[in-house]
Structure 1
């Protein structure tokens, strides 16, 4: 069971006088506080520190935490260049990178970005899958790639990642097609369903698709992206999360919680709600702290860190005369 945190790399999450250079110290502190992973998100919708730049800054100053994207939008980058960047960060971190990817969403969160990237909106999922297949081929030393959309010949030797097969690649999304694609070809699943029951049913479909593709169910890491705010009571938490949702998405909490996992309340209430997702099968929680300003983010980080021991299942105690 791993508990990670999403770093507040977007300017919408900063307060007056916040220094973005403090994000590096924030990541180092999160690692020392017990978080197993540090994730960053990726978009052109609002100003933010570019995702791979942030991971590169964290790589040499952290030691054990997984460095991840939640989620990287590959269509914003040249695919060969992205493979090189990810391999480089994996090397600099000693093999600690995990890449969750997505194809973008309709409306202002997707189609305009494809136009800026000079790519067609049509067949975006096929393009995403081919991009990941290209990355994996390049990481293993291929000098050519022939897909339906992406075709390259004469690729020069590229930087090889720390791990022979390269970083694990997860898929974000919970549509029936995304569940099937996750099971067939991805190393992990990072959705954000509003209800634990939705998570459980989605995970069953992912595992079914993995089995049908000749893979083992455990080949796919079941992760969860969830927004969290710990307060003295639910209403205070909801008020803070509403401000966060409006600043980040331009929508009230009542709309955001219809499409994303959002948990608030006292520490015990948050622990109980997160426990439902753990019971549904989640094994890597990526927690987004619902706070505005780095000081408030740091406060929430400490509160969530206090829950980490309770979220991790207790290890079995070895019996005398038996191997642990």
Structure 2
């Protein structure tokens, strides 16, 4: 049987709670997702829109969940001091007994990227070098290093830091989908979490990652092929698109037509959603992280339950694609 994980992005943004929303309901939401059969819970990271901070959310879930992977989608390390971030991540890995996965990203041009670097008092230039060095620093600290010498990050006489539950620390995935990001994923990351609008682009990107991994002397099976996708199950595609348009405008300040040019979005009846997700499974995705298209916590729970009903069929699709 092929391994197939289906996870959910926690609705940590206040725009997803509705007028009566209570942040404390997010912990119960995560526990409900675990009971419903989801195998991972992810939190995203931003300073642009009000939300519960990603690592705080995962720390709250660590002691009250049993088996689900706890992940970031995606963490932007430049928002934090790199040594302090290593400490926080190791702590969550300890609290969860080794269930943490860290997806990282460097931000995007426009209001989702450069202004955050200004707030973080860091230059926008060479952001990808900074990202890769931060990851290398984390891994060195988790292995007990007391110094680090990179092109940008340089530390001497580092005191003993918190060691994670797992030797070497939690897996670290990359969220980028450009050719350069694919090459970097193949060379040094443990997984890939993009959101390409076309499954064909997912397939070609995964092929490029595996070629880069082979060239670097790595095993391709050591890199988890994941997918970040917005999902709305509705009566039909037209009604689903209307709701997702409201969602896109509330979350991104843009219409759905613009959002789906850059991100994977699926909607329609349960069968239609299953067929669309199945195309990504056939393209190689083996860990789906679904962002539920709903703007209040009651509707989020309804979407969670409907998507949970598709989990057996998605796993069957993975088995079929692997034969």
- TM-score interval w.r.t. the shorter chain? over 0.9
CA distance in 1, matches of 2:49, 2:8: 20
Where does residue 197 of structure 2 map in the other structure? 194
Which of 231, 234, 241 does residue 231 from structure 1 map onto? 234
**Conserved 8 A contact 2:278-2:317:** no
1:183 matched to 2:186: yes
Contact 2:142/2:162 (CA < 8 Å) preserved in 1? yes
Which one of the candidate residues 14, 20, 28 is aligned to 2:17?
Answer: 14
For the residues of structure 2 that align with 1:81 and 1:132, how far apart are their CA atoms?
Answer: 13
**Local SS of the residue matching 1:263:** strand
Give 2:90's aligned residue. 87
Aligned to 1:154: 157
Question: d(CA) in 1 for partners of 2:53 and 2:235?
Answer: 34
Distance 1:314 1:42 in 2: 31
1:219: how far off? Answer: 1.3
Question: Partners of 1:284 and 1:140 in 2: how far apart?
Answer: 27
Residue aligning to 1:320: none
- Aligned residue pairs total 316
User: Is 2:169 the counterpart of 1:166?
Assistant: yes
Matched, 1:297 2:304: no
**DSSP-derived class of the 1:3 partner:** strand
Aligned residue among 275, 278, 288 for 1:275: 278
The match for 1:51 among 49, 54, 57 is 54
Report 1:254-269 matches (<5 A): 254-269=257-272
Report SS of the residue matched to 2:229.
strand
TM-score under structure 2 length normalisation = 0.97
Does residue 38 in structure 1 map to residue 38 in structure 2? no
Question: Is residue 248 from structure 1 mapped to residue 247 from structure 2 by the alignment?
Answer: no
| Alpha-carbon offset, residue 75 of structure 1 | 0.1
Deviations 1:238-271 (A, max 9, x none): 0000000000000000000000000000000100
Task: Output aligned runs, 1:103-182, within 5 Å.
Answer: 103-182=106-185
Paired residues of 2:282 and 2:317 also in contact (CA < 8 A): no
Name the TM-score, length of structure 1 as normaliser.
0.97
* Aligned-CA RMSD value: 1.0
SS at match of 1:103: coil
Distance 2:12 2:261 in 1: 24
Q: SS of 1:304's equivalent?
A: helix
For structure 2, the 5+ residue unaligned runs are: none
Aligned to 1:322: none
